[in-house]
Amino acid sequence: MLIDFNNLKINNLDSQTEFEKKVIFFLEEWLSDSVMVNVQTSGSTGSPKVFGIEKKKMINSATMTCDFLRLKEGYTALLCLPAEYISGKMMVVRSFVRKMKLFIADPSLKPLETLGKEVDFCAMTPLQVENSLDKLHLVRNLIIGGASVSESLKKRISNLKINIYETYGMSETLSHIGLKQLAPVTEDYFTVFENVSISKDERGCLTVFAPDLNAEVLRTNDLVEIKNEKQFRFLGRIDNVINSGGAKIFPEELEALVKKEIPHEAVFLGLKDESLGQKLILIIEAEQSDEIIRKISEIPYEKSFHKPKEIFFINAIPRTPNGKVNRLELYKKINGDEK
């Protein structure tokens, strides 16, 4: 199904799949007189909930993204994310705001499989990108969100000649408030949109003020390095910081370093230690091998205390329902706290 927002006739849209019906249902809600639309949470951190969002704020968010990426009227876009969640709804709103032509593809692990022509814009999850590498050249501007982009995936897409960005945002900001380019240029810092202000609180965590999206100053638990008033680098979650011998260690930074060298999940944790307070350890999701150990031993850690005191190999790292590493469960597993 194709929706031309420059010549929208909703009564002429012919839905063939359940997903297309959901898109049309949202469009009817969007074009109604109501100032709010309903959005469902994914339920990854609890029971799914439905909450209302002001259409005006969704338009503001869509405009920010479209302006940043220089998306123009008449461009083509592809929707391949669930229409009941904010990620899918915002793709529809961006197409509406910029009067683009929106192709509809049922959400799947391979959303580009039947795509036969180039599109100007698409949003995908890292897992969808992972399964669409042979077709990514058909997308001129791609944003990746919903989960962090692994180092191995970054490496595989860095040489592509299309514009690829990683997103940064939260539910309170209606999708993302900044982007970091991954290809064809690789950036270390996220750049926030116009009328978005950033700073650090007393903990060193990012605070965000985006009045067009949320009237409140939002405090995150993300430790960051701020380069200037518009750019920041994510260091790690404050919940995950390891204090070893008085030195603060950001496990996410070390994990990124390791995953540039090995194609396996790698997690740094701090185990209780009498002399250090916390002992830095590394867990690898793989069978133990001399090759992996050799590669890890050759990693040029910035500080000597970044080198793990022990390395553990494990068949399966515990994960949350949305696929993120469950560090608490992993700690219990390694520490022998499981019953």
Parse the chain into domains and list their residue ranges. 2-187, 195-239, 241-335
Token pair for 22? 């959901």
Alpha-carbon distance 94 to 71, whole Å?
A: 9
Instruction: Locate 127 and state its tokens.
Output: 């897992």
- Predicted local distance difference test score (pLDDT) of residue 41: 62
pTM of the model: 0.84
Phi/psi-derived region of residue 298, left when phi > 0, alpha when psi is between -120 and 50, beta in every other case: alpha
Give the CA-trace dihedral at 327, 247, 295, 335, to 10 degrees.
-40
How high is the pLDDT of residue 146?
83
Q: Take residue 167 and report the two structure tokens written for it.
A: 């997103």
Give the number of other CB atoms < 10 A from CB of residue 24. 19
Q: Is 246 left (phi over 0), alpha (psi -120 to 50) or beta?
A: left
In one letter, which amino acid is 186?
Answer: T
The residue whose two tokens read 């202000």 is 197
Per-residue pLDDT of the chain (339 residues; tens, 9 = 90+): 999 999 988 888 888 899 999 999 999 999 999 999 988 765 444 455 677 899 999 999 999 999 999 999 999 999 999 998 889 999 999 999 999 999 999 999 999 999 989 999 999 999 899 999 999 999 999 999 988 888 889 999 999 999 999 999 987 888 899 999 999 999 999 999 999 999 999 999 999 999 999 999 999 999 999 999 999 999 999 999 999 999 999 999 999 999 989 989 999 999 999 899 999 999 999 999 999 999 999 999 999 999 999 999 999 999 876 667 889 999 999 987 654
Superfamily of chain region 241-335:
ANL, C-terminal domain (3.30.300.30)
Q: What is the pLDDT of residue 44?
A: 44
**Which pLDDT belongs to residue 11?**
82
* Helix pair 86-97, 18-30: axis angle to 10 deg: 60
What integer pLDDT is reported at residue 181 of this predicted model? Answer: 97
**pLDDT for res 173:** 85
Handedness of CA 202, 303, 227, 60 (dihedral sign): negative
Q: Look up residue 134 and give its DSSP letter.
A: T
Sequence-distant (≥ 6) Cβ neighbours of residue 329 within 8 angstroms: 318
Of 3.40.1480.10, 3.40.50.12780, 3.60.21.10, 3.40.50.10860, the CATH number of 2-187 is 3.40.50.12780
